[in-house]
Structure 1
Amino acid sequence: MNAKELAAQLDGIQYPVRIPKELAAKAKSAGLVIVYGASDDLMEFEGAIYDEIGCYDGGMAYVDAKGLLLDRGSIEDDDELKDYFARQPHAQKIEAVWDDGTGYSWTYLTTIPHETFEVLEDGEPPYCCGIVFALADVEVRG
């Protein structure tokens, strides 16, 4: 399975999003990451990354080939801080954009190669334009 095939399978999924366990497992084994919005304050990650970040009114997530970086403000352990500072300069960002005027509640901006899918709420209007990308496509920069 690749990002385009997975995005096609997800296109038209209903809000609130419930990714079938079998599909999430296939995404994980293929190294694919699914990103979508939940409520008015969450960026959800499923597949090769399973996590969520708070992003009320928009926000930013940083991803590298190892996965999602922890929020800098939540790190207290010295070893985790060292890891964060080593990874952050090479991470790529995913910006969650709230209500950009396109009709979606959530859209995502990133330079990571990706495919998109629509999350519908009661059929329409579309709630979210989610993305799917391969973790292997997150380039190491620096």
Structure 2
Amino acid sequence: MPRDQLAAQLNGIQYPAHRAITKDQIAAAKAAGLVIVFGASDDLMEFEGAIRDEFGCYNGGTAWIDAKGLLDRSQIDDDDDEAIADFVKRRTSAESIQAIWDQDGFSWIYETDIPHTTFNVWEGEDGYCRGIVFALADLKSQVTP
């Protein structure tokens, strides 16, 4: 499934998106190597599909991602030298997704240089989130998962 097709299916869903995105859509995204990014609450960036994770971003923030998944230094024990070395190595080729709070009529929008397609999540008649769909294959630097 191309990312544009999945984004078109998701466009117009209601908040909370994690309840509106179907298991079939998640399975199709995973099979196609696609990642769905959307907001949850006032502090989370959610990832579904080929990557399933979440990133805390109260009032906005920047998530770093590669083909292995989300990089989150706060999840690594300071005494785990091997995990820290892996994080540092991956971070040099990871790409960013910036979560922006309260802009353009949405609670959440996302900016990234990763090629992507957007979709809108509504809360009633109000804009809640402008989510994105991207392909792992479009990441600049491929890391073997």
Both proteins in one fold, TM over 0.5: yes
Indicate the RMSD between aligned Cα atoms, in angstroms.
1.1
SS state of the match for residue 9, structure 1?
A: helix
In the alignment of these two chains, the number of paired residues is 138
Which residue of the partner structure matches residue 82 of structure 2? 79
Whole-Å separation in 1 of the counterparts to 2:68 and 2:75: 18
Which residue of the partner structure matches residue 136 of structure 1? 137
Q: Which residue identity is paired with 1:111?
A: D
Whole-Å separation in 1 of the counterparts to 2:75 and 2:36: 23
1:1-142 map, 5 Å = 1-17=1-17, 18=19, 19-69=21-71, 71-76=72-77, 77-100=80-103, 102-122=104-124, 124-140=125-141
Question: Runs ≥4 in structure 1, deviation > 4 angstroms?
Answer: none
SS state of the match for residue 105, structure 1?
A: strand
Alpha-carbon distance, 1:62 to partner? 0.5
TM-score by structure 1 length?
A: 0.94
Whole-Å separation in 1 of the counterparts to 2:120 and 2:127: 6
**5+ long unaligned stretches in structure 2:** none
**5+ long unaligned stretches in structure 1:** none
Cα-to-partner distance string for 1:21-65 (whole Å, 9 max, x where unaligned): 111011001000000001100000000010101100001110112
Aligned residues with identical type, % of pairs: 62
Whole-Å separation in 1 of the counterparts to 2:82 and 2:27: 30
Whole-Å separation in 1 of the counterparts to 2:67 and 2:96: 12
Alpha-carbon distance, 1:106 to partner? 0.2
Whole-Å separation in 1 of the counterparts to 2:55 and 2:68: 17
